[in-house]
Amino acid sequence: MSAATKTRLDVVPLSRHIGAEIRGIDLREKPDDETIKAIYQAWLDHLVIIFPEQKLSQEDLVRVTNYFGEQGMPRRPPKFFPKGYSSLLPGIMLISNIRENGEPIGALPDGEMMFHHDMIHSEKPDKATLLYSVEIPSSGGNTLFASGYAAYDTLDPSIRNKLDGRMARHHYNYGSVVKGDQKGTEAFGECLHPVFRTHDDTGRKAVYVNRLMTIGVEGMGQTEAEPLLEAVFDHAEKPEFVYEHVWRLGDLLLWDNRCSSHARRDFPSTERRLMLRTTVKGAARPY
């Protein structure tokens, strides 16, 4: 292949605004640099990318994570491991409802989970999250992804003008799936970020507030802020801006927390769900 030949990826969009499947790549092999660049560009274009039918080791997952930036480190290692795992590489988290010795091994509370941006309640939220499916329930547990770009571009100008240039306050009790529920732990994070965020790779603006974690707008009373935020949440979660992913074994998903939010459907708590999760660190404070 000559240097001028462009790497061609088999990228299949899954909805109008968000989500694409990248076919024909086995991530056990390191792609060449041109292909990695093309994958990164496909991710910027589609916000969420899916690599189906992967058979990844933990080392493979860590290597792939590093194609997208510096890997983040999880808050805490698991207390117990499920069958087949005696240890985890640094930076890999278990997302699971499986219980060993009566305690859940991974951070996965039951129930439907509201739309959110991962770690928006921290100063430098993760840029990306990767999730690799190892065990899935027979039904349910779908992940929904919403494009913050599409929501921003089509937001009612009268709402957008009131919130433009303002900062939103985010609060998260770890483990909560619905704002203010009893599933959260005592540990929480809180932070201010722009209501509309500029993406540091694409320069595009995206809605950067969500129903699970956003609790107010700086310099605005709650009676004014709450209905405005509710209107933005309702708009951002409209089906036309959303792709709903039905998990298959061996799916590797990568999503962009700078310009998309996600939610999870409920699944039978009697069935096992096990995912490996890694993150990519954000480069800067959101602006």
Residues that bind Fe ion (CB under 5 A): 118
- CB nearer to Fe ion: pick between 51 and 115: 115
> From CA 167, how far away is CA 124, in angstroms rounded?
15
Which of these, 136, 181, 88, 153, lies nearest to 272 by C-alpha position? 136
Q: Quote the least distance from Cβ 42 to Fe ion, whole Å.
A: 22
Are 208 and 148 in contact by the 8 Å Cβ rule? The answer is yes
Residues 6+ away with beta carbon under 8 Å from 129: 118, 254, 255, 257, 277, 278, 279, 280
Query: Residues 6 or more apart from 109 whose CB is under 8 A from it?
Result: 175, 176, 177, 183
- Sign of torsion over alpha carbons 72, 125, 25, 7: negative
Q: Which residue sits closest to Fe ion, CB atoms considered? A: 118
Q: Which is nearer to Fe ion, 199 or 262 (CB)?
A: 262
Q: CA 179, 256, 129: angle at the middle one, nearest 5?
A: 75
Residue 8 or 76 with smaller CB distance to Fe ion: 76
**Minimum Å distance from CB 262 to Fe ion?**
6
Q: Are 167 and 280 in contact (CB under 8 A)?
A: no
- The CB-of-161 to Fe ion minimum distance in angstroms stands at 30
Least distance CB 62 / Fe ion (angstroms): 20
Query: Between residues 60 and 118, which has the closer beta carbon with respect to Fe ion?
Result: 118
Nearer to Fe ion, 54 or 279 (CB): 279
Tell me the three state secondary structure of residue 207: strand
Per-residue b/e over 5-28, b at no fewer than 16 CB within 10 Å? eeeebebeebbebbbbbbeebebe
Q: How far is the CB of 95 from Fe ion (least distance, A)?
A: 9
Is the Cβ of residue 21 or residue 118 nearer to Fe ion in the bound state? 118
Q: How far is the CB of 116 from Fe ion (least distance, A)?
A: 6
